[in-house]
Structure 1
Amino acid sequence: MCFLVEGQRIEPGYVVERLLGEGAFAEVYRVRHRFMGRQAMKVFKQAGSGALMTEAVLLTRIAHPNIVRVFDAGTVATAFGERGFFTMEYVAGGTLYRLWATPRNRPIAVAETVRIIHQVSRGLAAAHAERPPIIHLDITPHNILIGPDGRARLGDFGLAKVARPLPGKARGQVTLAFAAPESMLGAVAESCAMDVWSLGAIAYLLLTDRHPYPEGASRRTRPVAPSALNSDADTRLDDIVLAALDPNPVGRTPNATVLAGQLADWGAGL
């Protein structure tokens, strides 16, 4: 099902170039604006503007070079009825998943892994610094974009929301491999520590080419240290990654600001 077709013109001034991909809730297209050049357009599959306004408004509150920028929002007529959309910066380099999945003989270099996770942490720190904090809740390698300049940007805030200090219904549609252990419980207090766990899981994957917890494995204890699987990692980096993966959110690295600082200190010590 494609809501837009190549060559379709959308006011004010967009031309659809091609479909980039789709998820459970939306399709993303590459479009060209007559003045501003190429952008990405996210078109929601369901009628109504609730999801559109939530994600677009949250993103406009976060201005950071490591967060995908939002430019415009509106509605578009499709073969399936009117749908909400917003446009954001188009990142030509592809996703972190694509970078990780590229065939190679060993894990991505440790310094490159730390650079990417540090950049994403800095962008996420801007969201966590909002009052109340904005938490992403679905950070995966597919939602991290790497530009031709090497700069990492965090996108897809479709499940993001302001932090909720009291327990409530668990979120649906999350990517389980990168979801904090407490997010799988029936009722949880959503916190910045959930996002930190996701970044810790991504860092572990990049460092070792393995998920910290294979499918079906218990998440009640910390996984094997990255340095046991990759001799280029050191014990200082082990401590940072394993603290981010602490099964207990109370003992976990509390937010992206702290994680970004730890990674910066590690880099400064090289």
Structure 2
Amino acid sequence: MNDRFGLQPQPQPQPRKAKPRILWLLAGPLVGGILTHWWDLILLDKYYSLDTLFNSHVVDGDFIYFAEVAPKLRRHKRIVGLDEDDSSWSDGIDVWFPKPDEDDNERYQRHRSEDDGECISMHSWQESSFPSCNLIHEMDFFSKYRPGGDVTHVTHGGFNELYRYKDRYINSTGSIASISLAVKILKYEKDYTAHKFGVVRQDAVTLERLSKSPYIYNLYGYCGFALVVPFVTGGNLNDKLYDWRHGDIEISSRERLQYAVDMARGLRDLHDIDGDGVPSATHGDLKEHQYLFGEDGRLQLGDFNKGQFLSKSSTTGKPCTYKPPSTTYNDKVFRSPEEYMNIQQTAATDIFAFGSLMYYLLTRQRVWEGMTSSKYRDKVRKLIIEGKRPEIKDTILKSQDPVDVALKKAYEMCSAYDPEKRVSAKEVAEFLEGVWKQLY
């Protein structure tokens, strides 16, 4: 019939063949990842040359800008604009940006924890800062993506990323040698606040002032949110005491006393930075985790970012008390009664914490063992406020081991309920050193 009207038959459409879409679904992310990685590598040199590997800050008009290269290639830059007049920043930002014609004491009045107009900073170094950004910027942080690179990511904690940096140098014989350093830097996702800048600055300044002490670990560099300190392979005291507490290792009486002497010397040096016998700084978080084993086996104290720079009366010259925010103490149950009562405090809070460490070395248990979970935390705090102490077994109380006797005495010297009746760090160090000389 199509031929009768001069029409040609039209070809019928053929059904389309199904394409293997599953291959596209699989290939899409793969291609995207390759392109993203390729683009990151293109931008690598650009960001490496233009931005610092650590946080830097500049003032531009009414805003303060903080630029940072994160430890992740796909997010290696961000800018945070912060209004300098923001009241939430006013207390801390003055540390870095003093007002015109303002001296150290006037600036100190605006950011210290106790503000009654009477107290001033004890020493000018408490307001200082000694960043070594140029030195730190020489570190090739992107080498961690290359085999055998200088920087290796080790782990991270609640606030910091930890890197191991291999620094090469020419030794006295003319050969190339290397040393491993630890670099701590604020985690990318953490907020950048004046308070965090302040605590890192405080940690760095304290380490710098204590570089003369063999019982405080060294500081090799500081910039922004970053600290460069020794990379220790001997671990910390917490690891050692944990294994001892669980029966995995034994620690002799001699070793326990040696630990106690080293720990006391570190705290003594912190509380006597200026050599005048008057504490100008506190640790604020003294526990076994903060003591590291150096290359010579000696315990070294560090991590001063929760402490306080102490002030003095402008009229009498006597040390002023302080009262940090109560939220600071939502952690452990080894703190002093005055801390849990949220009243005025002194360097004696560190002494109480040191007493808890002596209890640990004496009893093979942490204070309030078995009651450290959040379930019992409020109960234990109430007991501490009431002046109660954790129990000590009769076998330990009656022990004739001279080290046990000395550690028990040190615990009693440090754990007095009244802060004014606790000994100083120098006194407990001298006591333990005297016992060591008698026995060994």
1:39 alignment partner in structure 2: 181
The 8 Å contact of residues 406 and 432 in structure 2, kept in 1 or not, is answered as: no
Classify 1:167/1:72 alpha carbon distance in 2 versus 1 (closer, same or farther; 3 Å). closer
TM-superposed CA distance for 1:194, in Å, is 1.3
Classify 1:56/1:150 alpha carbon distance in 2 versus 1 (closer, same or farther; 3 Å). same
Q: Which of the residues 208, 228, 245 maps onto 2:415?
A: 245
Q: Secondary structure at the match of 2:220?
A: strand
Is 1:19 matched with 2:154?
yes
1:66, 1:226 → 2: CA distance?
A: 32
1:52, 1:236 → 2: CA distance?
A: 36
Deviation string 1:42-78 (CA, Å, 9 cap, x unpaired) is 1124425333222111211112111111111125xxx
Q: Root-mean-square deviation (CA), in Å?
A: 2.7
The 8 Å contact of residues 96 and 146 in structure 1, kept in 2 or not, is answered as: yes
What pairs up with 1:103-182 in 2 under 5 angstroms?
103-104=246-247, 108-130=251-273, 133-163=280-310, 165-170=320-325, 172-174=327-329, 175-182=331-338
The 8 Å contact of residues 43 and 85 in structure 1, kept in 2 or not, is answered as: yes
1:242, 1:251 → 2: CA distance?
A: 11
Look at both structures and tell me which one has the larger radius of gyration over its CA atoms: 2
1:198 alignment partner in structure 2: 353
Classify 1:208/1:124 alpha carbon distance in 2 versus 1 (closer, same or farther; 3 Å). same
Classify 1:172/1:239 alpha carbon distance in 2 versus 1 (closer, same or farther; 3 Å). same
Unmatched tracts of structure 2, length 5 or more: 1-69, 77-135, 141-149, 170-177, 312-319, 372-378
- Greater RCO (Cα-Cα under 8 Å, separation 6 or more): 1
Counterpart code for 1:133: S
Classify 1:262/1:59 alpha carbon distance in 2 versus 1 (closer, same or farther; 3 Å). same
Q: What is the TM-score normalised by the length of structure 2?
A: 0.52
Question: How high is the sequence identity, in percent, across the aligned residues?
Answer: 25
Q: Secondary structure at the match of 2:420?
A: coil
Classify 1:172/1:256 alpha carbon distance in 2 versus 1 (closer, same or farther; 3 Å). farther
Q: Secondary structure at the match of 2:257?
A: helix
Q: Which of the residues 82, 94, 99 maps onto 2:235?
A: 94
Unmatched tracts of structure 1, length 5 or more: 76-83
More strand by share: 1
Classify 1:74/1:235 alpha carbon distance in 2 versus 1 (closer, same or farther; 3 Å). closer
What pairs up with 1:205-220 in 2 under 5 angstroms?
205-214=360-369, 215=371, 216-217=379-380, 218-219=383-384, 220=387
Q: Which of the residues 393, 396, 405 maps onto 1:229?
A: 396
Classify 1:107/1:210 alpha carbon distance in 2 versus 1 (closer, same or farther; 3 Å). farther
Classify 1:236/1:227 alpha carbon distance in 2 versus 1 (closer, same or farther; 3 Å). farther
Count how many residue pairs are aligned between Structure 1 and Structure 2. Answer: 255
2:163 alignment partner in structure 1: 29
2:304, 2:155 → 1: CA distance?
A: 17
More helix by share: 2
Counterpart code for 1:169: P
Q: What is the TM-score normalised by the length of structure 1?
A: 0.82
Counterpart code for 1:203: M
2:210, 2:340 → 1: CA distance?
A: 27
2:393, 2:139 → 1: CA distance?
A: 49
Q: Which of the residues 219, 222, 225 maps onto 1:73?
A: 222
